[in-house]
Each structure stands twice: as structure tokens, then as C-alpha cells.
Structure 1
């Protein structure tokens, strides 16, 4: 997505002796962030119109409200029926529904492409187990470089710190259980045996949260104990807020974890230790939930404004593998090149199949898997390309950006991008060695001043 910020940045940086080489060499990110991401950083940030990304965040909030209303509006409030409609197995529905209120907190991150005319929502990840909350550490590091800071000031660049939003929500949660909101003890809690799988990421989050004045402990759900007063503790430390990074799939089927979840939910309900966020939000994070918004029976229950929102923001999405999805499956069989096949619930692009990248036989094999796992077929979105200068060669290459855009009760909550050159594949995930990450700066919709960096 080329804009005036990009054009100015590149025009001032394309010379190998220009500021981009200096910027790359001089930027120093915090130690734990460097360990987690320093080896996969793009040579420059991505720019976007502030008005456009804030408007998209408003749309995300509206999509969230619509999704949350579906059980009540279309399934008589029955979460089991709703869950079955999006292909969730009963054991997951049970875990996600424990303690459900019907009013989950708006705390989410969209994965989106920009097609050159606007953002298109690929999936909406609802809940606190989100990556990228520490991405503003890179924004701050870039602004510490005098040349880039001058460029940013001259052109009114800005950024939103996602950690500011998260910390505000954690402090509010602490206050809700009578804890000190200024310096609550927060524990980031993973599923059984999973903390070490992402330890570098969690240490970076811990580092950034410390900068924001919050002590963050790291642990797993089975390590939480319950005191006589009902308050949870981690390895003997009383915990004011549990920052949930465990997922429903890590709990269902594990008897120890299941008991631990009930303990956490009990402490939350008793207002002794807050859970940020309950697993209720996971009922709406499945990509199949977005697919419901395209079903005729669901669309009939939506307002005209909601239908317009769905058509504008969401690529067409079909739910597969559920009762009544035979027509959707037939459509997927005959439209391979224009579709993407995705698990309804999945992470790091696990199980994603791009129709145009596989043979008919491979596509058919992937479709057969929908009989045993929740899947959706989604209209392929062709993203606009981002020009990026290689600081070593001075040559400009083209990259695809997958936008991670946060939305919270405070509105737009910051953004970051994962990027990939088309020659390295179609699936943008850090499991793909060609993927690079970067931060996002917003800019006003005005022509940039002449200013070398």
C-alpha cells in the first residue's frame, strides 16, 4: 500500500549512502525484544493514514459487537447450538462457556490485508493471548535515532503503543478486585508445558510491561494455587490479575488443567483475582464465526448497517464441515484458485492452504480434512505490495504485509506488520524463514515536506 509517507521515505533512502543504512545500523532495541525479533526485522517501518486505520478499528469494534450478539439473536442464547454451528467440538464449547456472561471484553487483534483501496479483515483474534503487544518497542527505538526522529517530526508521524492499552486494562481489572491499580502483580499464564515454547516472546512482553510500571510474573495454569481467602498465587506470590495466554484447546482433555481453570474462574467470579480475559471470547475468535455473517439466515437477522459493514470489511467466507455446509463445500471444489482454506481455530497459519498454490488433487485432499476438523473457505484477498529498500544493496523489493491491528475499549490500540516477499511463498508466518516483522507509524493525509533522513 503505497502512500505519501512511503514515497518520501523511499525517495530519501534509496541511495545506499543515505539515511536508511544509517538508520538500520544505529537502531538499538531493548535486549529481550532483540532476542525475540532482532533477527527477523524488516529494514523499515510501514506507514499508514491515521484516519484510515482508526476508521478500520471502529469497523473492527462493530464486527465484534455483531459477533457477540449472534448467540442471542440467532441461537436463542444457546452457546452449544452456536458452537456447533461454527464446528466447535462439545469439549471446547464447555471450556469456553464456563463463566460466560454474554458480554466479553472488547480486546482483539485483527489480521488484515490492505488491497490498495482499504483494509480487509482475514480473522479477528478475540482475547488476551495475542502476539505483537510489545511492538512499540521498535517504534521507540527508531525514534531514538536522531535522523529518523527529525524525519518523523517533520512529517507528523505518530504511533499508538499497544502496551499502554493493555496496561490500562490490567490496572482496571486489578481495581475491580480491590488491588492496587498503580502497581498490581500480574501473572502471564500459559497452558501446561507451553511456557517454554514462546519464552523469548514472553520475556519481551515482560520487559516492555516493566517499562510501563507493571511487574509481570510468568507461569503455567497448573502452577496457580488458591489461598484460604480465594485469591490465587503463583509460586507463593499473590496474584492480582491473571493475563491469560492459555487457550481452550490446551485445557480441554487435560484433567489437571481443567480443574485449574475452574479454580481461576472461581477466583475471578469471587473478585479475588481477576482473569484477563475469560475464555468466553474464544467463542468468537474462530474464523467460522465470520463465516456465519455470510449465511442467509444470519444476514436476515442483521440490520442494513451491519450487512453493509460485513460486505465492506469481510471477504466472503464459507463455513465447512458443519450440518448444511454441503453447498459451501461444492463451491469450494469448483473455485480453488480464488479461495483460501483455513482451520476455524488455529495459530501461526497452521493448516492454511492457498488454492492457487496447490493442485486439484492437493485441494481435494485438503477439503476432505474438513470432515474431521473445523474449516472455512475464504475469498482470496490480493494485497497491495509495499516497496522496501534493501540497505545492503540499495535495491527496492516488493513485500506483502499482514497487518496486526489491535482494538480495545479505548479504540485503535496500535499495529504491527509481518511481511513476506512473494517469491518466498503466500503464507506469512514466522515459521516461514522469509517472514520479517516491523512496526507501524501513522501519518496525516498530506504531502510530506522535503526532509532528508
Structure 2
């Protein structure tokens, strides 16, 4: 039986690495990583010795799926902005619901988000989460550039058609869109809050990447400054001022920083008043980010009870690209053509499911049913029902791939799980990927084992 294209490419890459390209590969990685910029939470973002390869068909399908899912999320946002009952069903907390009055009804400039996906054993892509403050944008392109310097990649590119999707191209697209916003000043400036940590009691783990990203933004003609919420802010004559400098575009560097605005400073803060009055914009929107950050929204994409929110084409796309997901609560629901009593069914079939808190990132609070005992699963299910609102999501069976890692000076091959996470710019333009690999199914960088690899799309010549 003829091997698949990806298996063929990977086998060829591994053979080249073992035969003649190990030293040059290590040299390029050491030089690139040694600059101290490709670091997350104090550790290198990449320690494996090859990229991930996907076929062109998978790449095109991911782009199509991204557009369809983001179209559905936009519809969900519009409905939720007008429907308080829907917001409560989706688990928005009181302080998040209050954001509706700030910027839900005005124009929201959307810059970037990320759809986190898994390629199943059957080759089907499933999106399992949506990230409104995604990391990895600069790391992705930096790793891609590093690997493209390697002689081994040039040999692969001579045999196969190969391309590395660029997230930076998406950034350029989003910034062009921002220039179309109504503004008082001819040029755009961006004020970033929470970059240095501290806002909301948090530390930003990817500060090095955030600074590199803002440098790229500045290189494209946007003046970038950093700020804190406890500085001197004022709203005078329809203009927002910080320390005597006018502010029109605001970016919160993390969810914690955004949440601290109302929680710690209240609705009388000049930023809130300015956004309400249209004197300033928060990139990605305050209410929009809060709503689309919730994992409970994936229940709305999956559950037929919410089908009235979407057109027929979008609902069809959800059935293909979104795994079965439900809010953890009592009741009956469809599952594979029959109706089940949700809680007893999930309790009995833990190996099929994942429990996820409605809020949280980095794998915090995620429970993998096939990795725990029946007793642990029952306790987790009760916890989600009574104390921590969340969702139960059907497991995506992800095959592992062998990746070379260096041990005692020699490459050894270890099985890794991987994901496929397209960035979406300006709400509909997919460009670039974040790809993570790990030895266990929890792929998040914050979970401790996840690391990033570049992605190349390959095809036969």
C-alpha cells in the first residue's frame, strides 16, 4: 500500500536528518533560539527538530471552516447583544453582561482571534475552542523563518511543492481595516494595557512575543504606547486622554487586564465613558471578547436548540467542524440520532468526553474522561454542575506523530499529539497557524508540556 503524502514527507525528512542534516539543523535552531526571544514563561517554545506538515487540501479546508465558524460566531454575537436570556444561557457573569451597555451596540474593530482545532484520525478538522486574545503570532512566523534557513528544508522543497502560511500577512490585512475606522487624527495610534502584567493581578507569560508583535505593528505605521489603568486618564471635549496624550484605539494584552477595568475601576473610569460615547474603541470589543471567550458558546454552535441563530449553510458547517458540545446541566438532548438524559449518559460514557470550564485558559480545569477513574469523573461532573459552569464536549480522537527530539546528543523519536489553529483577522480573513505539539493530549503551552512548531503545506510537484 502506497504511504500517504504526509507519511512520505515525514519519512524523507527523518532520513535526511539522521543521515546528513542533524548538525546544520541544530546550528540554526541554536542560533535562532539563543537570541532569547522565542521564549514562553521562561522556556524555549520549540525543542523538536521538525515542523508539522499538512496537505494542501487540509489547508484549504481549514480556511473554509474558519470562515464558516466565524460567520456563525458573528451571528451569535449579534443575537446575544440584544437577548439577555441568551446571554444568561451562555453563562455570562453579571460583570460581563454589563459590558453590553458599553460597546455591544456600536462598531467593534476586530483584529485577530484564533480557532483551536484538532485533526481527527479520520482526517476531519474539528474546532474545539475560540481564543479572543491569541498568542503565538510572532513565534509562528519566527519558527517558520528559522526552519526555512535549514538546508534540510531546502532539500524537502526541491522534491515537494511547499509553503509556510504567514501570520504577518494577516496582521497587515487587519491593520488596513483599522485605518478605515473614523478617527480625529490622520494616523492611527494604539495604546496597549496590561503588557507588563499586574493588571488584574496577572503576569503576562508571553511578554517577549507581545513586545515583538507590537514592534511589527509599529513598523506598519501605527504608533504604539503602553499604559496602565491606574494612570491619569480623562475624557474632555469628546476625546480620551492619558497623561496628556489623546487615545483612540485600546488593546488589552490579556483577558485579566480587560476584566480588571470594571472590577477594579468601575463604570466611571474615563475609558468606559469614552468607549460608550464612541470617543475610543477597544480592539476586538469588550463585550464581544467576553462573550466569544466563553467555551459555552460552543454548545450554541453544536446544540440544535440554538439552530434559530444561524442560517442553513452555517448550521451545516457546524455539524462538520464542531464536536458535539453541551452545557453541563440537567435535561435531555440529542446524541447520535437518539435522545439521552445528559448527566447520566455523560457519567456512564466518560471515555467519550472532555469537561471544560466555561472560563479559563491554558488547560486549567480541563478533565479528560479517558484519563481519569469513574470516581474522579463523577466528582468532576458534580463540580461542574454545582460550582463551576462549563461544557461537556465529545472527544476528538487525534493520532500521534513521531517527532525527533535531542537526547544526549542524538535524535530520538517520540510520539506527540498536535493541533491545528488558524488565526482569523478582521473577523473573516484566515491567515497563518499556531501549531502546538505535546507528549500528552493537553497541548496548551501554559500546561507545561506544549511547545510550538512551524507548519508547512506540502503537495506533489
| Aligned counterparts of 1:154 and 1:187: Cα–Cα separation in 2 | 46
Match of 2:74 among 53, 59, 68: 68
1:27-38 to 2 correspondences below 5 Å: 27=29, 28-29=31-32, 31=35, 33-36=37-40
Contact 1:6 1:46 survives alignment (8 Å):
no
SS at 1:305's partner residue? helix
Contact 1:32 1:204 survives alignment (8 Å):
no
Structure 1 position 185, deviation (Å): 2.9
SS at 1:315's partner residue? coil
TM-score, L = length of structure 2: 0.82
Contact 1:33 1:201 survives alignment (8 Å):
yes
Change (3 A) 1:284 1:40: closer
| Aligned counterparts of 1:102 and 1:118: Cα–Cα separation in 2 | 37
Alignment-derived partner of residue 23 in structure 1: 25
Alignment-derived partner of residue 441 in structure 1: 456
Alignment-derived partner of residue 250 in structure 1: 259
Contact 2:53 2:456 survives alignment (8 Å):
yes
Match of 2:425 among 384, 403, 408: 408
Structure 1 position 351, deviation (Å): 0.5
Q: Aligned residues, how many?
A: 435
SS at 2:137's partner residue? coil
Alignment-derived partner of residue 56 in structure 1: 62
1:175-324 to 2 correspondences below 5 Å: 175-178=180-183, 184-190=188-194, 191-194=199-202, 196-210=204-218, 212=220, 214-223=222-231, 225-226=233-234, 228-247=236-255, 250-251=259-260, 254-256=263-265, 258-260=267-269, 263-268=270-275, 272-281=279-288, 282-299=290-307, 302-321=310-329
Structure 1 position 71, deviation (Å): 6.5
Match of 2:91 among 87, 91, 97: 87
Match of 2:437 among 419, 422, 433: 419
Q: Which runs of 5+ in 1 are unaligned?
A: 448-453
Structure 1 position 32, deviation (Å): 5.4
Change (3 A) 1:252 1:241: closer
Contact 2:249 2:282 survives alignment (8 Å):
yes
1:160 aligns with 2:165: yes
Contact 2:118 2:126 survives alignment (8 Å):
yes
Contact 1:177 1:273 survives alignment (8 Å):
no
Contact 2:421 2:434 survives alignment (8 Å):
yes
Contact 2:401 2:415 survives alignment (8 Å):
yes
1:327 aligns with 2:335: no
Alignment-derived partner of residue 450 in structure 1: none
RMSD over aligned CA atoms reads: 3.3
Contact 1:185 1:216 survives alignment (8 Å):
yes
Contact 2:267 2:273 survives alignment (8 Å):
no
Q: Which runs of 5+ in 2 are unaligned?
A: 334-339
Q: Note the alpha carbon deviations across 1:330-374, whole angstroms, 9 max, x for none.
A: 322121111000012221011000011111121111112222222
Structure 1 position 291, deviation (Å): 0.7
SS at 2:456's partner residue? strand
Alignment-derived partner of residue 380 in structure 1: 395
TM-score, L = length of structure 1: 0.83
Match of 1:345 among 344, 350, 359: 359
Structure 1 position 200, deviation (Å): 3.1
Change (3 A) 1:273 1:157: farther
Alignment-derived partner of residue 5 in structure 2: 4
